[in-house]
């Protein structure tokens, strides 16, 4: 089994179209078919079924796809480890973050890190927690910081920061100057929430369910800034991280409330692939993140 064969198999498993793979990998279709046949003989299982003109992965093919991706990721990491600069003068760091952390925490953290290590090349990808977890699986990023728990066998998670969610309203909302509100008052309000897959949404939904609180969902938006702008018009309320609304609360553009009987808090987690080698660069970024806090 060679790395080239793994790469070709994985590409075919992803595209399920040998013509497409042939063009992308500059290899003839007969050569691809021969490689797949050799792999099936070596493994003693059938990896694909051909029904008419379409390809389908067998159960064994699905399993091998998962492991082939992990083997390719490990090989890529091996090459990266060989090229690492232990003095941290050079290097690349591929980070990911779910939306709240990516927008409101990471910019300052990255700025301070680059100040200390100006030759380090850092990239940051932002998405919802599910998107970021999938980037970890594909080795598109080295490590990430997310707002919700990730329940995937290949991903390890550890708490790195604490966060608090609060109820957000227009400053002239009927609740007025109260600092805390009774949970029963939420029933008549229309909530504007983040999209499915958002860590903020998952924490809010879990808190409402665990405390048997009913609420009305008006609509969803995939952007916290958009939610804040709509609430500032007086249309609905929301539940957002206190981090994301600090400026608007200070300026009196929004009003924030806690609930009387419980708090909505959560962990911000550091996640990485369980097979990931932690380079000196990754370790240093994590150390500085823990040291700084939020």
**What's the CATH number where 72 sits?**
1.10.10.10
**What's the CATH number where 182 sits?**
3.40.190.290
* Bridge partners, residue 269, by sequence: 146, 159
> What would the pLDDT profile of 266-291 be if each residue is shown by its tens digit?
889 999 999 998 988 999 999 999 98
Q: Are residues 76 and 109 in the same domain?
A: no
Q: Are residues 167 and 261 in the same domain?
A: yes
> What would the pLDDT profile of 48-71 be if each residue is shown by its tens digit?
999 988 999 999 999 999 999 999
> What would the pLDDT profile of 77-113 be if each residue is shown by its tens digit?
888 777 665 667 678 899 999 888 999 999 999 999 9
Q: Are residues 287 and 258 in the same domain?
A: no
Binned at pLDDT 50, 70 and 90, residue 200 comes out as confident
CA distances from 7 to 21, 65, 69, 71, 92 (A): 10, 10, 8, 10, 24
Domain end position, chosen among 32, 49, 83:
83
Of 147, 87, 141, give the one whose Cα is nearest residue 276.
Answer: 141
Q: Are residues 54 and 148 in the same domain?
A: no
**What's the CATH number where 132 sits?**
3.40.190.10
Q: Are residues 97 and 152 in the same domain?
A: yes
Q: Are residues 129 and 95 in the same domain?
A: yes
Q: Are residues 123 and 173 in the same domain?
A: no
Q: Are residues 214 and 230 in the same domain?
A: yes
Domain ranges, residue 8: 3-83
Number of domains in the chain: 3
Return the pLDDT at 86.
60
> Do 128 and 195 form a contact (C-beta atoms < 8 A)?
yes
Do β-strands 91-98 and 120-127 pair in parallel, antiparallel, or remain unpaired? parallel
Q: Are residues 125 and 261 in the same domain?
A: no
Is residue 204's pLDDT more than 70?
A: yes
């Amino acid at each position: 089994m060679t790395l080239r064969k793994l790469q070709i198999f994985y590409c075919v498993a992803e595209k399920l179209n040998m013509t497409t793979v042939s063009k992308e990998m500059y290899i003839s279709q007969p050569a691809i078919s021969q490689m797949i046949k050799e792999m099936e003989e070596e493994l003693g299982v059938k990896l694909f079924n051909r029904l008419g003109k379409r390809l389908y992965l067998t159960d064994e093919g699905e399993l091998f796809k998962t492991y082939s991706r992990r083997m390719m990721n490990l090989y890529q990491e091996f090459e990266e480890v060989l090229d690492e600069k232990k003095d941290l003068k050079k290097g690349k760091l591929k980070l990911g973050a779910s939306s709240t952390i990516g927008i409101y925490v990471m910019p300052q953290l990255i700025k301070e890190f680059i100040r200390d290590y100006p030759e380090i090349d850092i990239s940051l990808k932002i998405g919802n927690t599910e998107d970021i977890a999938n980037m970890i699986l594909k080795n598109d990023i080295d490590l990430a910081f997310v707002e919700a728990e990730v329940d995937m066998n290949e991903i390890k998670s550890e708490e790195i920061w604490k966060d608090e969610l609060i109820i957000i309203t227009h400053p002239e909302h009927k609740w007025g100057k109260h600092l805390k509100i009774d949970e029963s008052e939420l029933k008549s309000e229309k909530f504007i929430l983040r999209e499915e897959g958002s860590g903020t949404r998952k924490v809010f939904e879990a808190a409402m369910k665990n405390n048997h609180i009913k609420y009305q969902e008006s609509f969803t938006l995939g952007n916290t800034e958009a939610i804040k702008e709509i609430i500032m018009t007086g249309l609905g309320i929301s539940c957002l991280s206190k981090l994301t609304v600090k400026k608007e609360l200070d300026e009196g553009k929004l009003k924030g409330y806690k609930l009387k009987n419980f708090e909505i808090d959560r962990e911000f987690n550091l996640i990485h692939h369980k097979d990931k080698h932690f380079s000196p660069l990754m370790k240093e970024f994590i150390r500085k993140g823990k040291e700084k806090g939020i």
